[in-house]
Amino acid sequence: MSTKTALVTGGTSGIGLSLLPDLVKAGFTVHFIGRNADKGREIESELNAAHGPVVHFVQLDLSDLAAVKSFAEGFVQQVPSLDLLANIAGLMSPERRVTDEGFEKTFTVGYLSAYVLCRELTPSLARAPKSRIVNVAGVPRFVLRQTLDLEDLAFENNYKGMDVAIKTVHAKTVLTEILAERLRDQGITVNAFHPGAVQGEVGRDFSFPLSTLFGIANRFMAKTSESGIHVTMSDEVEGVTGQYFVGRKGQPLAFDAAYKNGLWDRTVGMVG
């Protein structure tokens, strides 16, 4: 019988999808977010056939922040207690794209939507006895460096798809430390993890030859993220907060206070 509840973004491919079976086996009822309805329902059906009706697909475009907020408000009413929020979804676009709300799309999907979900779902997380927020990060040398231009979070200057994707997961890593500090008194832990090379759909939007290179590399990647499974489910991580994990090893995040405050203020100014 499921006794815990998880919400996973980016659950129809890659890292997010790889977490779902292990979460079910660990006793979670799992809600997972994706944009592709056909693929999401197929995954939901397969997992429920194997494990029982404990997996629920949510079709949601994370680039639409109004829709994300509306979903989260309804989720809090329907699922009062949330044990795990895993912000895994990400995007890498070769060209700069702007959402209908005026935000750069990669940053919106990978960072701003995670911020909105964390903010709106805090009441449900606070009701669970030992809740966790887990954020996907990236390679240490990229995500631990303070590289954001806080005056250009729309990435209007010299847009490069891979660079913006890296800066997006960096921002989410900084957010990890901010939320760890802000939510500590509510009993919510917040950690980030480097997933390693996991099979997925990164690079699918690039044209030849990059799309082909990404496809070839994908064949040699792992099917699951050891670090992701450890941070989301291991008892060893219980009570640990504000850390960045590579494999099973964590280290405290320690970004400059002014940098953290600057990102927080800019984020609040952008989406409330």
- 0.95 exceeded by pTM: no
The predicted pLDDT at position 1 comes to 54
Between CA 86 and CA 22 the distance in angstroms is 13
Give percent of the chain with pLDDT exceeding 90.
85
pLDDT tens, residue by residue, 171-220: 999 999 999 999 999 999 999 999 976 544 554 554 444 444 434 334 43
pLDDT tens, residue by residue, 78-137: 998 999 999 999 998 999 999 999 999 999 999 999 999 999 999 999 999 999 999 999
Closest CA to 88 of 218, 231, 267: 231
Report whether pLDDT(221) > 60.
no
Give percent of the chain with pLDDT exceeding 70.
89
Closest CA to 137 of 272, 37, 255: 255
The predicted pLDDT at position 205 comes to 52
Between CA 71 and CA 146 the distance in angstroms is 32
